Amino acid sequence: MSEFVTRIREKSLKKVVIDPVTRVEGHGKVTIIIDEEGRVERTRLHIVEFRGFERFIQGRPYWEAPVVVQRLCGICPVSHHLAAAKAMDVVVGVGPDGGLSATAEKMRRLMHYGQMLQSHALHFYHLCSPDLLFGFESDVSKRNVLAVAAEYPEIAKQGILLRRYGQEIIRATAGKRIHGTGAIPGGINRHLSKEERDGFLTDIDQMIEWAGAAVELVKKVHSQNPDFFDSFGSFPSNHLSLVRKDGALDFYHGNIRAVDADGLKIYDQVDYKDYLDYIGEEVRNWSYMKFPFIRKLGKKNGWYRVGPLARLNTCDFVPSPLAQKQFEIFRAYTGGKPNNCTLHYHWARMIEMLHSAEVIKELLSDDDLSSGELIRRGQRVGEGVGLIEAPRGTLFHHYRVNGDDQIEMCNLIVSTTNNNDPMNKAVHRVAQDCLTGKEITDGLLNNVEVAIRAYDPCLSCATHALGQMPLEVKLTDREGNVISARRKGSRA
Amino acid sequence: MMTSEKITFYIDEIECTATQGQSILEAADENGVYIPRLCHQPDLLPGGSCRVCTVSANGRNQAACTTPVANDMIIENGSEEILDLRRAVIEMLFIEGNHYCPMCERSGNCELQAIAYRLKILAPRFPFMFPSRKLDATHPGIFIDGNRCIQCGRCVRAAQQIDKKPILGFIGRGGAVRIKASSTEGLKGVDISPDDACVKACPVGAIIVKDTAYRKPIGERMFDKQPIGSEIEARRTS
Ligand code: FES
Q: What is the pLDDT of residues A386-403, one digit of tens each?
A: 999 999 899 999 999 999
Q: Is the pLDDT of residue A133 over 70?
A: yes
Q: What pLDDT is attached to residue B153?
A: 95
Q: What pLDDT is attached to residue A438?
A: 63
pLDDT band at residue A287 using 50, 70 and 90 as cut-offs: low
Strand order in the sheet with A14-19: A40-47, A28-34, A14-19, A472-476, A482-487
Q: What pLDDT is attached to residue A284?
A: 76
Q: What pLDDT is attached to residue A248?
A: 97
- Does B135 sit within 8 Å of A405, measured CB to CB? no
Residues of chain A contacting residue B103, judged by C-beta atoms under 8 Å apart: 64, 67-68, 71
Going through B36-82 in order, the beta strands assigned E by DSSP cover 54-57, 60-63, 74-76
* Rounded Cα–Cα distance for residues A78 and B72 (Å): 57
pLDDT band at residue A460 using 50, 70 and 90 as cut-offs: very low
pLDDT band at residue B126 using 50, 70 and 90 as cut-offs: confident
Q: Chain B: nearest CA to A83, how far in angstroms? A: 16
Binding site membership of B115 for ligand 1 (Cβ less than 6 Å): no
Q: Is the pLDDT of residue B146 over 70?
A: yes
Tens of pLDDT, residues A181-198: 899 999 999 999 999 999
A491 burial level (CB within 10 Å; 0-12, 13-18, 19+): exposed
Binding site membership of B99 for ligand 1 (Cβ less than 6 Å): no
B20 three-state secondary structure:
coil
In this complex, the residue of B143, B215, B219 whose CB is nearest that of residue A61 is B143
Residues of chain A contacting residue B211, judged by C-beta atoms under 8 Å apart: 63, 92, 185, 405
Rg (CA), chain A: 22
pLDDT band at residue B155 using 50, 70 and 90 as cut-offs: very high
Q: What pLDDT is attached to residue A75?
A: 64
- Rounded distance from Cα B63 to ligand 1 centre (Å): 6
Q: What pLDDT is attached to residue B238?
A: 53
- Does A71 sit within 8 Å of B215, measured CB to CB? no
- Does A67 sit within 8 Å of B216, measured CB to CB? no
Q: What pLDDT is attached to residue A20?
A: 42
**Dihedrals phi, psi of A308, to nearest 5 degrees:** -55, -45
In this complex, the residue of B102, B210, B217 whose CB is nearest that of residue A61 is B210
Pick the CATH number of A53-418 from 3.30.1370.160, 3.30.9.10, 1.10.3720.10, 1.10.645.10: 1.10.645.10
Report the atom number in ligand 1 closest to the C-alpha of B64.
2
Tens of pLDDT, residues A77-117: 899 999 999 999 999 999 888 899 999 999 999 999 999 99
Task: Give the number of other CB atoms < 10 A from CB of residue B162.
Answer: 16
**Optimal mutation site among A55, A58, A62, A67, interface B, most CBs of chain B within 10 A:** A67
**Whether the Cβ atoms of residue B236 and residue B193 lie closer than 8 Å to each other:** no
pTM of the prediction? 0.87
Q: Is the pLDDT of residue A173 over 80?
A: yes
In terms of CA atoms, which chain A residue is nearest residue B214?
A181
Binding site membership of B49 for ligand 1 (Cβ less than 6 Å): yes
B45 burial level (CB within 10 Å; 0-12, 13-18, 19+): exposed
Q: What pLDDT is attached to residue A405?
A: 95
Q: Is the pLDDT of residue A478 over 60?
A: no
Domain range list for chain A: 53-418
Which residues of A touch chain B, with CB atoms under 8 Å apart? 59-61, 63-64, 67-68, 71, 92, 174-176, 179-182, 184-185, 189-190, 375, 404-406
Q: What pLDDT is attached to residue A191?
A: 95
How many Cα atoms are found within 13 Å in the side-chain-facing hemisphere of A256? Answer: 25
Binding site membership of B62 for ligand 1 (Cβ less than 6 Å): no
- Higher per-residue confidence, B34 vs A56: B34
C-alpha angle A98-A324-A272 in degrees, rounded to nearest 5: 35
- Residue B10: C-alpha distances to residues A322, A354, B27, B56, B76 (Å): 71, 65, 11, 11, 8
Binding site membership of B157 for ligand 1 (Cβ less than 6 Å): no
- Residue A162: C-alpha distances to residues A116, A219, A337, A345, B19 (Å): 11, 19, 31, 19, 61
* Rounded Cα–Cα distance for residues A325 and A331 (Å): 10
In this complex, the residue of A71, A182, A404 whose CB is nearest that of residue B103 is A71
- Residue A314: C-alpha distances to residues A27, A253, A327 (Å): 30, 14, 12
Q: Can the peptide bond before residue A20 be classed as cis, meaning omega within 30 degrees of 0?
A: yes
B76 three-state secondary structure:
strand
* Rounded Cα–Cα distance for residues A354 and A212 (Å): 6
Rg (CA), chain B: 18
In terms of CA atoms, which chain B residue is nearest residue A190?
B217
Whole-number percent of chain A with pLDDT over 70: 78
* Rounded Cα–Cα distance for residues A275 and A416 (Å): 17
**Dihedrals phi, psi of A298, to nearest 5 degrees:** 85, 170
pLDDT band at residue A435 using 50, 70 and 90 as cut-offs: low
Q: Chain B: nearest CA to A404, how far in angstroms? A: 6
pLDDT band at residue A19 using 50, 70 and 90 as cut-offs: very low
- Does A189 sit within 8 Å of B216, measured CB to CB? yes
Strand partners, A280: A293
3-state helix, strand and coil shares in percent for chain B, rounded to the nearest 5: 25, 20, 55
- Does A175 sit within 8 Å of B102, measured CB to CB? no
Please give the mean pLDDT across all residues of chain A: 82
Whole-number percent of chain B with pLDDT over 90: 82
Determine which of A286-300, B178-192, B203-217, B220-234 has the lowest per-residue pLDDT on average: A286-300
* Rounded Cα–Cα distance for residues A85 and A69 (Å): 10
Tens of pLDDT, residues A42-62: 777 765 544 567 778 889 999
Q: Domains (ranges, CATH) in chain B?
A: 6-78 (3.10.20.740), 90-209 (3.30.70.20)
**Dihedrals phi, psi of A325, to nearest 5 degrees:** -60, -45
Cα dihedral sign, A80-A85-A87-A91: positive
Q: Which helix (H) or strand (E) holds A256?
A: strand A255-259
Q: Chain A: nearest CA to B99, how far in angstroms? A: 13
* Rounded Cα–Cα distance for residues A323 and A328 (Å): 9
